[in-house]
Chain A
Amino acid sequence: MASDLSDLYQEILLEHNRRPRNFKTLDDPTHQADGFNPLCGDQISLQLKVGDDKVHDVGFQGHGSAISRASASLLTQAVKGATSDETMAMFDEFHKMLTEPDAELDIDLLGDLEMLAGVIAYPTRIKCAILAWHTLKAAMDGENVATTE
């Protein structure tokens, strides 16, 4: 882990941690799931409102590290308005960004999610960053629980 700490804790990431977007519960979610990272006790609940194959609204609750919180916040921004195919494509790209060094990435697809790219240098933290995405996938697949183990 030779990477500079400031690559990981970028100011904008810390800002998402302090003031997460869509940190709310939905009144009438169509999909929802809870995610756990048993290793560090991170826990999130994710709710989605999907109709006509589009994510109309998304909200999350829970507690966890700055990485997992900011990642969840960024996720909600990214998937709002996306189709389920687009959402899954983002999941795959995000996963690739965190697990395959030197992979060629679709920067346009990732958008703001790219600010978590530095996590790849911190193997113990990848699960924190990916928790929200596993939870999203579980919700979309109609499963109610996701864990990173």
Chain B
Amino acid sequence: MTTAINTPGAPGRDGSGQAHGLDVIDPHRIRQDFPILHQEVNGKPLVYLDNAATTQKPQSVIDAISNYYLHNNANVHRGVHTLSQRATDDYEAGREAVRRFINAPDANEVIYVRGTTEGLNLVASSYGRKYFKAGDEVIITGMEHHSNIVPWQILGKEIGIRLRVVPFNDDGELLMDEYEAMLNDRTRMVSVVHQSNALGTVNPIPEMVELAHAHGIPVMVDAAQSIPHMPVDVQALGADFLTFSGHKMYGPTGIGALWGRAELLDDMPPYQSGGEMIRSVTFEETIYNTLPHKFEAGTPDIAGAIGLGAAVEYLESIGMERIAAYEQALLRYGTERLDGIEGVRMIGTAEEKGGVLSFYMEAAHPHDIGTILDSEGIAVRTGHHCAQPVMARYGIPATVRASLAFYNTTDDIDALVKAIDRVIEVFG
């Protein structure tokens, strides 16, 4: 295999600025950290381009999880014995790592959840049920993942709130004038995706927050797709709640985090109830525990939290600025290569976007493309990406989505392009 920066002949590598950024990371060194990548699939080297669905795990994350089970397994916050203390320390170190990673003021504002879906449900359920009443409005956007649509819809049916949806243009950019016009004194919440999983669009969160805050409206950010690929600083964004999944940021499944401002979380009722979340229970009355434990009922995913902490440390060791720069360069390279193929229509062409190459071909259905790509060892996602309203907006049933990580190379993109040529061969 050649190195990513020195392969001549392909576009975007002539040093004229297009390739700028590809040299900030050596993906071949990075790939050594990811054991799973070194395998063949269907007789071809695996090309993993389904990172928006879930990312692969570095050895350090795998080690942190097995180390916990091999040496420290015990319940947290419960025992006086040594193992319990170790488990608790590592579990809480994960929380502190997350706090640092997103620049939250206080680790107690970081609540472990199962993932983005649970983070969104927690806020809709706890904050929504406490503060929303009939006639109130919640603003989302037309490019939300189903997990940022359905919880509000359910609440809408229960309480009678109205969901307002900010539209976007053909490139996949929000119509900010329409957003601004939607904000009014019935609006109780703005809940918006930071980076769209279907389109790659990066939304202007600070601007949206400023407009919402001018009306005293809190903003919830779905950072599932942004946090693995760019620096995310909750204070710089100005958000009030932000949530993400561990498994999309090189950590394990089953764990994620919700961050919220302490003054908001403090006044919110618990989401689930049981052990850990209470301070004292009699049969007459329960006094809730303090943050973050109030929202962490039951024995948590301890190994997951430790794995998440390890993922954060791994990302910090490379640096999110560098990761973003590299992936942006790879995105430019990929966009240029795919754009050059006749019959390929890119879906999601926003000025500000992350490493998502979503496309549609008239000649072949996405599912057939996915099968042909898989036969070449290339993993992509085909379908509606849990964003059916986005598909409807473009009048297509599904797309093929190649999504990038910093272990991907220009060779991966070239393999994708070659496999698409094969699709054209088959489907003419």
Contacts and interface: CB of A to CB of B under 8 A. Distances in A.
Given A14-B426, A14-B427, A122 B383 contact: no
B364 A40 contact: no
Given A63-B397, A65-B365, A124 B371 contact: yes
A122 B397 contact: no
A124 B381 CA distance: 13
Nearest to B426: A9
A63 B428 CA distance: 19
A66 B427 contact: yes
A134 B398 CA distance: 22
B382 interface: yes
A103 interface: no
Given A2-B43, A40-B366, A42-B397, 6 more contacts: A1-B42, A1-B375, A9-B372, A41-B384, A65-B368, A66-B364
Instruction: Name the 9 nearest CB pairs between A and B, nearest first.
Output: A65-B367, A65-B365, A41-B397, A40-B367, A66-B368, A65-B368, A5-B375, A41-B398, A9-B426
Contacts of A65: 365-368
Contacts, number: 50
Interface string A36-59: 000111110000000000000000
A3 B371 CA distance: 12
Interface residues of A, number: 21
Contacts of B368: 9, 65-67
Contacts of A124: 371
A64 B384 CA distance: 13
Interface string B373-388: 0110000001110000
Interface in B345-399: 364-368, 371-372, 374-375, 382-384, 391, 397-398
A8 interface: yes
Contacts of A41: 383-384, 391, 397-398
Contacts of A5: 371-372, 375, 426
Interface of B: 42-43, 364-368, 371-372, 374-375, 382-384, 391, 397-398, 426-428
A144 to B, nearest CB: 21
Interface in A55-92: 63-67, 69
B383 A39 contact: yes
Interface in A1-27: 1-2, 5, 8-9, 14
Nearest to B369: A65
Contacts of A1: 42, 374-375
Contacts of A139: none
A64 B383 CA distance: 11
B149 to A, nearest CB: 16
Nearest to B41: A1
Contact of A40 (B372, B398, B427, B428): B398
Contact of B365 (A2, A8, A66): A66
B151 to A, nearest CB: 20
Contacts of B382: 40
B367 A122 contact: no
Contacts of B367: 40, 42, 64-65, 67, 125, 128
B371 A8 contact: yes
A122 B209 CA distance: 47
5 contacts: A1-B42, A14-B428, A42-B397, A65-B368, A125-B367
A9 B94 CA distance: 49
